[in-house]
Amino acid sequence: MLSLFRGRPGLATWGGLVVLIVTVILASANRLAPAQVQDLDLVLAGGRVMDPESGLDSVRSIGIRRGKVVAVSSEPLTARTVVDVRGLVVSPGFIDLHSHGQTDENYRFKAMDGVTTALEMEVGTAEVATWYAQRDGKSLVNFGATVGHIPSRMAVVGDKGDFLPRDEAIRRRLTDAEQQRLLAIMRRGLDEGALGIGFGIAYVPAATRKEILDVFELAAERGLACFVHLRSHGAVEPGSAIEAAQEAIADAVATGASLHIVHVTSTGLSQTATLLRMIDGARKHGLDVTTEAYPYTAAMTGLETAIFDDGWQEKMGIGYKELQWVATGERLTAESFARYRKLGGMVVIHSIPEEIARLAVANPMVMIASDGIITSGKGHPRGAGTYARVLGRYVRQQQVLTLMDGLRKMTLMPAERLARTTPSMSTKGRIKAGVDADLAIFDPARVIDRATFENPAQYSEGFVHVLVNGVFVVRDGKLVESVKPGSPIRRR
């Protein structure tokens, strides 16, 4: 005991010396030697660099070499290309955990909204290797996906829907043999590098609680997170959002799997505050539970899905006129509802009160994620405007959260959500030497969404430059169409 005590001051002194040496080394690294300076591919000079991990919010120059940030310096840096970014915020590029649109068209809207990594974590895919191969070397932004319970179940029962179930996967319980096939598909997806397991339980109401629990168990075996659209939404009991959150949280407790509850507002509706209280409580008791929201007062999904089974008006507290048919923009009636439900297609659901959207966006626990998809210019504005809308509307205009807190929800928090299982994510979502040069550079006085429910296909305003792996995908406010610097985000 005594020797331990005697040892402590000595250790402290050595520790102090090590800190001093490291500080000197870091300080000299910030003033790069001329040879190193010549090696830089690009310098972003004199921007307001904001890093939610370290809390840095100061004027710095950023040196980039071979796709990586290699210097964050208070001294000027030189390189072959120096871009003056004075007066602009330099943020880590945004990481969208809920990006259904995984096409060139969608990636363009993402890039113009500051997103450098777009991940399909909720629906996911049943064909993980193929999914990655289709995008590798061909994408504007970084991409990745989970293996999805929905598409795997659709494959097992032969559902005729394309993206979301429309018949067999909605109605059919699985036999034991089918349940084994389902798990085999999902195991293969995880072996192929999927980022976790995606769920949309509300779309497959025939999936028993046992079926869901078994899939959570698979996630737990692999040490992965489940990204879950809960079984039901709203306040009507039985079958409320609270009941649905209890199922997912109980499965996380029982199996040990991590849990991410998607779009807490469109699921929670009037019960959103209670869901947030449950998630906060679970976290305080040591569970790895996270959540996300998009900054809009409407949801969107397929009219043919189980979401519009009998009772939807009571569950969501809305009527036909709150439904807007995406293809034409028209509000629905009982007659057009019946006609379009047979046809199938996307419908915007004006169901989320503004105060609920604001509550979630302002809550420090809630990440920002778009849930977006734009198809031939049609869709929900969240596919194009989510990130600019948070920064312009909720940070600048309404001041319900600080700029740094807003950026943290778009960068560090989603990176940390994934870094626990996907180590490559620890080099995203922050700005320091050694991270990937995924950067969003914007004018904080001007950044705003332009996408509307009437015309969702409008680029956000205010993003001056966006870089993916050190390559400009947006430069001087304009999309760079000729480059494909996006890398796969994959678990190895």
Q: Which residues bind Zn ion (CB under 5 A)?
A: 229
- The angle formed by the CA atoms of residues 344, 99 and 406, to the nearest 5 degrees, is 130
HSE on the CB side for 135, CA within 13 Å? 29
Q: By C-beta, is 229 or 380 nearer to Zn ion?
A: 229
Q: Find the shortest distance in angstroms from Cβ 233 to Zn ion.
A: 10
List, in order, residues 6 or more apart from 422 with CB less than 8 Å away: 195, 489, 490, 491
73 beta partners:
61
Nearer to Zn ion, 121 or 437 (CB): 121
CB 111 within 8 A of CB 466: yes
| Closer of 166 and 229 to Zn ion (Cβ) | 229
**Closest distance between Zn ion and the C-beta of residue 113, in Å?**
19
Residues 227-263 as b or e (16 or more Cβ within 10 Å = b): bbbbbbbbbeeebbbbebbebbbebbbebebbbbbbb
Q: What would the 3-class secondary structure string for 189-256 be?
A: HHHCCCCCEEEEHHHCCCCCHHHHHHHHHHHHHCCCEEEEECCCCCCCCCCCHHHHHHHHHHHHHHHC
Q: Which is nearer to Zn ion, 267 or 411 (CB)?
A: 267
Nearer to Zn ion, 77 or 123 (CB): 123
Nearer to Zn ion, 163 or 453 (CB): 163
Helix (H, G, I), strand (E, B) or coil at 356: helix
CB 350 to Zn ion: min, Å = 16
Q: Which residue is nearest to Zn ion (CB)?
A: 229
Q: Residue 100: how many CA atoms within 13 Å on its side-chain side?
A: 19
**Dist. CA 316–CA 299, nearest whole Å:** 11
Tokens 């007062």, located at residue: 297
Least distance to Zn ion, CB of residue 443, Å: 32
In angstroms, the Cα distances linking 288 to 76, 175, 201, 248 are: 42, 32, 20, 12
CA 391 from chain centre, in angstroms, equals: 16
The smaller minimum CB distance to Zn ion, of residues 229 and 430, is found at 229
| Least separation in angstroms between CB 11 and Zn ion | 52
Q: How far is the CB of 449 from Zn ion (least distance, A)?
A: 20
Task: Provide, rounded to whole angstroms, the least separation between the CB of residue 382 and Zn ion.
Answer: 11
Task: Report whether 63 contacts 100 (CB < 8 A).
Answer: no
Query: Tokens 């057009």 — which residue?
Result: 336
Handedness of CA 265, 270, 275, 281 (dihedral sign): positive
Pairing of strands 225-229, 258-261: parallel
Least separation in angstroms between residue 4's CB and Zn ion is: 55
Helical axes 176-191 vs 209-221, angle rounded to 10°: 30
Q: Which is nearer to Zn ion, 159 or 461 (CB)?
A: 159
- C-beta of 229 vs 260, nearer to Zn ion: 229
Min CB(380)–Zn ion separation in Å: 12
